[in-house]
Chain A
Amino acid sequence: MASVKEYIRERFFPHIWCPGCGHGTVLKSLITAVDQLGLSKNDIVMVSGIGCSSRIAGYVDFHTLHTLHGRALAFATGVKLSKPQLRVMVPMGDGDALAIGGNHFIHAARRNIAMTAIVMNNRIYGMTGGQFSPLSGYGKAATTAPYGNIDHDFDVVQLAKAAGASFVARTTTYHAPQMVEILKQAFTHKGFAVVEILTQCPTYFGRKNKMGEAPDMLEWFKENTTPIGSQAKQKNPSLIERGVFVAEEKAEYCTEYEKVVERAMKGRE
Chain B
Amino acid sequence: MAKLKLKAHHIDRDWCKGCGICVRFCPKHVLQLDDREKAYAAHPEKCIGCRLCEMRCPDLSITVETEEEGEKS
Q: Which A positions have Cβ atoms within 8 angstroms of B?
A: 3-4, 8, 13-15, 17-25, 27-29, 32, 173-174, 176-177, 180, 202, 213-215, 218-219
Neighbouring B residues of A22 by C-beta, 8 Å? 58
User: Main secondary structure on chain B at its contact with chain A?
Assistant: loop
Docked Cα-Cα span, A214 to B19, in Å, equals: 7
Contact of A27 among B14, B17, B24, B60 (CB under 8 A): B60
- Given contacts A25-B56, A25-B57, whether A19 and B15 have CB atoms under 8 Å apart is no
Could you list 8 examples of A-B contacts with CB < 8 Å?
A3-B63, A4-B63, A15-B60, A27-B60, A180-B55, A202-B19, A215-B20, A218-B25
A residues in contact with B20, CB < 8 Å: 20, 213-215
**Complex Cα spacing A32 to B54, Å:** 11
Whether a CB of chain A sits under 8 angstroms from the CB of B44 is no
A26 to chain B, nearest CB (A): 9
Residue of A nearest to B20 (CB): A215
Contact B19 A13 (CB under 8 A): no
**Do the beta carbons of A20 and B58 come within 8 Å of each other?**
yes
**A19 and B17 contact, CB distance less than 8 A:** yes
Would A215 and B21 be within 8 Å (CB), given that A14-B14, A14-B15, A176-B52 are in contact? Answer: yes
Which of chain B's residues has its CB closest to A19's CB? B17
Q: How far is the CB of A148 from chain B (nearest CB, A)?
A: 28
